[in-house]
Amino acid sequence: MSTRHNNGSDYENHQRAAELHESAAHAHRVAEQAHGKQDHLTGHESSRKALEHSRLAHKQTEAAAGERTKAIEHDDIAALAHELWRARGCPDGSSQEDWFHALEELRSRI
């Protein structure tokens, strides 16, 4: 993990992926119980099914999170901040504002 520009987004992405995984796994457990499919399963079968659903949820979460958690590169932020600055007429002293708006714009695209 690069620490050059660590703004916490890697941690936030990891947390979001974990939340998505847990949410998907929980949805599978609840749906299975709600439909009464576990009534006839032994403890071993129930555990095996839970593991199977958990693995499937994990794979789906990894795929979804991989698409949504692309790292925002420093050069991409800088390029967009420059475009924003030029579009506003190149005002003096606006570099932090342009950087912030560029970062927010790139995050909204993910």
pLDDT digits (tens, 9 = 90+) for 88-109: 998 888 888 999 999 899 888 8
Distance CA 63, CA 43 (A): 30
Mutual angle of helices 95-109 and 74-87, in 10-degree steps = 120
Distance CA 71, CA 48 (A): 35
65, 43 contact by CB (below 8 A):
no
Domain ranges of the chain: 8-71, 72-110
- The tokens of 44 are what? 């071993």
- pLDDT (tens digit per residue) in 2-14: 444 445 566 677 7
Going through the chain in order, the beta strands assigned E by DSSP cover: none
